[in-house]
Each structure stands twice: as structure tokens, then as C-alpha cells.
Amino acid sequence: MDGTTPRTVTLHGDALDYFDVGSGPPVVFVHGLLGSHRTWAHLLSALGADHRVVAPDLVGHGGSAKPRGDYSLGAHAATLRDLLDQLGLDRVILVGHSLGGGIALQFAYLFPTRVQRLVLVSSGGLGRELSLLLRAATLPGAEWVLPLLASSWARGRVEAVGRGVGRLLGRVGMRPGSDLTEAWRGFVSLGDADSRRAFLASSRAVIDPGGQTVTARPHLHRLATVPTLLVWGARDRVIPSMHAARAAEAIPGSRVEIFERAGHFPHLDDPDRFLRVLRDFMA
């Protein structure tokens, strides 16, 4: 498979899009809130030469179905298990970013024999602290405000402002980072009612106005038998990098890599280094 066309499987009546490329030891990538498989696109071909790489669109995201239903971490983890069953994959190297990190942690607790190695990238579920923007999405009335913000008129105004900010940064020798690019992509994805409903359900399953509501910290000691890598951007304004240090103290034998010039998407801000670190850890 060339990695440009997704496959689709129906699980419990809902369509799930996923990419499945290469052959060798299986690596499964789980994206974050408002994301899709695209956040891992640069790794599909890079790792596909000597690994089997699977990258699904979570339910409620990307090309997958956006049903009314359960968007908890446990539900996402169970869907991931069902996908692996369909693909005949028993044990995998599991890589999760942001919300996907929280799902990866939940998967590791629920199905510990199926995780060979665990990679948490700017992961959720490791502390209460979270950006104000994501907390605002859980406020009462957000379901009425979000359609106005995501309207084509509003998106046009935001895009114009974004172009102006990009030109200003260019004049002073800077470029917009991955955080801004990925935030815009996520914002654009909320153009239809089903996507907005799924976003709010996913957010409210793990966030309240005070921050993250689901924490794995009391259970991290259970990862003692799972080699674990934590990757974080020092400039992360969504989930602070101090969560990596806290988690490392609780996970025996874990390894931490801080990308000093990266934000919430270290795998995009410094893709070459991320690939090197990931390959080294998998080896």
C-alpha cells in the first residue's frame, strides 16, 4: 500500500479509517484531539521500510464516523483493541500524542499484554494543568458558541488574521510553528455539526473548566514492565512539560526527551530528531 489512501473497517456499526503501511514489527500511532492520522504522515514512509505502521483516525475525528455515543478514554482504547484484532496484531509499540497519549495509557492498563513499548508525546492524563482554550470548550453554552466560531465567515476572518501574523513573524525572521498550523487545521475540521458534537463529547470526557479530569498518575507504577519513553516540547503551552518529569518519577526505568525549541507537537517541530529518538527507543 502506498500510504496515501486510507482503509476502512466497520467496528460495532461505525466506520473507522486507518492507514496500514510497511511490514515488520508493528507500530501504532494515536493522534490527539481535533487531529487525525495526518499528524503522523511523515512517519508512514520513514518507518514503513522496516516496520508495519498503523495510524487510525479516532472515532469522531478525521474520516472516521462521528456517532452519538461514548467518547471516553476507555471507549477509544476498546476501539483500538478491536482494530488490532481485525488486523491480527497481538503486541505493538504504541505511540500516543496528547489525547492519544491518554488513550495509550488507558490501553496499556486495560490490555497490558498487548503493549510491547509505550511512547507518550505531550501526553494527556498526567496532570491537571491544561491550556485555557481547551478548558473553555467545556463551559456551558459552548455548543451554541462553537457553530458561530466555526462558520465559514468566522473561519475567513481567522485565516486573514493568521496570514497577517505570519507575515509579521516573517519580517522579524520567525516562522509560525506547528502549534499554530495544527490549531488551524483542527479549527477548520469543526465546520459540520457532527464534528462539533464529537469534539465537545471528546473534550468533556477528559476536561472540565479547571483542567484535565482524568489522571493516570496513581497507576503509573503499573508500567514498570513496559519500556516507556516520554517526549515533550519545552515550549508546550497546551500541556506543560513538567508533566513529563512527574511521570518519569512514577514510571520505573522510563526515559524522557525534552525538545527545547518545540511546542505541543515535537514530532512536527523537529521531525528528524523525533524519528531518531523513536528508532533508538524501539531498537
| Residues known to be catalytic | 98, 236, 264
The set of cell numbers assigned to 183 is: 490549531
Contact between residue 14 and residue 59 where contact means Cβ atoms under 8 Å apart: yes
The set of cell numbers assigned to 101 is: 497519549
Task: List Cβ neighbours of 114 (8 Å cut-off, separation of 6 or more).
Answer: 81, 84, 90, 91, 92, 107
Q: Which of 95, 103, 130, 146 is nearest to 213 (CA)?
A: 130
Instruction: Write the Ramachandran bin of 189: left for phi over 0, alpha for psi from -120 to 50, otherwise beta.
Output: alpha
d(CA 218, CA 239): 19
Q: How far is CA 158 from CA 138, 183, 271, in A?
A: 22, 11, 27
d(CA 235, CA 214): 23
- Maximum distance among all alpha carbons in the chain? 52
d(CA 247, CA 242): 9
Helical spans, DSSP H, in the chain: 41-48, 73-87, 99-110, 132-136, 142-149, 152-171, 178-188, 193-206, 242-250, 266-269, 271-282
